[in-house]
Amino acid sequence: MSNSMWGGRFKSDTNALMQAINSSIDFDKNLYSQDIAQSIAHAKMLAHTKIISEQDKDDIIKGLNTIKQEIEQGQFKFSSALEDIHMNIEARLAELIGEAAGRLHTARSRNDQVATDFKLYTRDAIDMLVGQIKALQSALILRAEQEVQTIMPGFTHLQSAQPVSFAHHLLAYVEMLSRDYHRLLDARKRLNQCPLGCAALAGTSFPIDRYMVAEELGFTEPNANSLDGVADRDFILETLSAASICAMHLSRFAEELVIWSSAQFNFIELSDSFSTGSSIMPQKRNPDAAELVRAKIGRIMGAYTSIMMVMKGLPLTYSKDMQEDKELSFDALNNLSLSLEAMTGMVSDLSVNKEAMKQAAGAKFSTATDLADWLVREANVPFRDAHHITGKIVSLAESKELTLEQLELKDMQEIDKRINQSIFEVLSVENSVKSRTSYGGTAPKNISREISGWKRILKIS
């Protein structure tokens, strides 16, 4: 019964509203190639198990290939009334080949179909991302090779702490990216079970061959429980979780590029291609690309938390809520890919101001630990006492406005008479860096060994 206040307009308005909230074609058209690939695999299996005829299979495959071409050439008319990519493709297939199109959906539902498409999409995205991570690692290694002897201040609390090699700093990111790489591949392993054939939720009475479809689509095996197959979205959550950690790493690196390229630091200059000018201040070069990479974690992590919220509390199996998983994921994965590529470009193009780095590395008594270590090693002073003696020497240097290296031997001897001339060997930043030969330390000979190892792994010659 229609409501007298608003019933007159109810019918047409709700139809339009329903379409607006229900239709997903604007974003799930991104799944067209995965959807067509799975339909081809499904049709082959249906013919193999004699559920459909060879002729129908051939017509279906031919029609699907035509649709693929139409989409890629921009000739396909997507319709919001047809809701999503699955129904858009099926409707067009019916126009192209007639009745046989209706047989394609035998033993399948949109629930297992969308889970399969989305898994294939996520798997493709992982394959692209791991390639891009390797490219960034390679750019870092090639850059590190030039910078083994470049000394910069290492920081804690963003306070100069101890001098390190710039290459060592870059290699820290290579390690972080390696964990990202393996996290993504690990997610890929668990993702790689095929949901197609779970049908709506309970499986099907047709004699399908799920192993055949799984193999055809590059999955390791079909998933074991039909309810789980259509209800599971762990695969995108795991991938977005790994993507968020990777984006967090890129954000930290981007922040360093922003700091290092400031006039106050002046450690690096980003190339023109990754900077912009100011519309009002002619002297400015803004590190926009780095700032945007720094920000991308927001939307990537945002996609992860949104989808986690969508999934929590959903009863088994499929609910339409799950349609909300795609738009944000596409955006997040695309933006991580873009960030990785922009970072690779920035690393390859930036120029390094070695002098400024070295000067900063020597500031703020950064070799004080080396002085304390000398007292321990050469004069058998317990480290705690050595720390105390060094503190006094640092405050002497501070009051005289000298670096540790510039202090006179006799002034240091007044504080502790066990100090002798050889102390000066450890006070330079070069010697400080060179002395850190412990496994994983910043000594150039460690770094060169690490670089060769990475070049073998990344197959860089």
Q: Which residues bind ligand ARG (CB under 6 A)?
A: 24, 28, 84, 110-111, 114, 318, 320, 322-323
- Looking at the Cβ atoms of 41 and 322, the one nearer to ligand ARG is 322
- HSE (CB half, 13 Å, CA atoms) of 149? 1
Please state the closest distance from residue 274 (CB atom) to ligand ARG, in A: 37
Please state the closest distance from residue 58 (CB atom) to ligand ARG, in A: 27
- Looking at the Cβ atoms of 111 and 261, the one nearer to ligand ARG is 111
- Looking at the Cβ atoms of 240 and 247, the one nearer to ligand ARG is 240
Please state the closest distance from residue 198 (CB atom) to ligand ARG, in A: 12
Residues in the chain: 461
- Looking at the Cβ atoms of 201 and 394, the one nearer to ligand ARG is 201
Q: How far apart are CA 209 and CA 266, in angstroms?
A: 64
Q: How far apart are CA 451 and CA 446, in angstroms?
A: 9
Is 279 one of the catalytic residues? no
- Looking at the Cβ atoms of 71 and 270, the one nearer to ligand ARG is 71
Query: Which listed residue (4, 12, 157, 279) is catalytic?
Result: 157
- Looking at the Cβ atoms of 322 and 407, the one nearer to ligand ARG is 322
Query: Which listed residue (53, 278, 395, 452) is catalytic?
Result: 278
Please state the closest distance from residue 184 (CB atom) to ligand ARG, in A: 23
Beta-carbon contacts of residue 173 (< 8 Å; ≥ 6 apart): 140, 249, 253
Place of tokens 């297992």: 112
Please state the closest distance from residue 211 (CB atom) to ligand ARG, in A: 24
- Looking at the Cβ atoms of 92 and 183, the one nearer to ligand ARG is 92
| SS3 sequence of 359-417 | HHHHCCCCCHHHHHHHHHHHHCCCHHHHHHHHHHHHHHHHHHCCCCCCCCHHHHHHHCC
Please state the closest distance from residue 189 (CB atom) to ligand ARG, in A: 24
Radius of gyration of the chain from Cα atoms? 31
- Looking at the Cβ atoms of 18 and 363, the one nearer to ligand ARG is 18
Please state the closest distance from residue 111 (CB atom) to ligand ARG, in A: 5
Is 278 one of the catalytic residues? yes
Please state the closest distance from residue 316 (CB atom) to ligand ARG, in A: 14
Catalytic annotation, residues: 157, 278
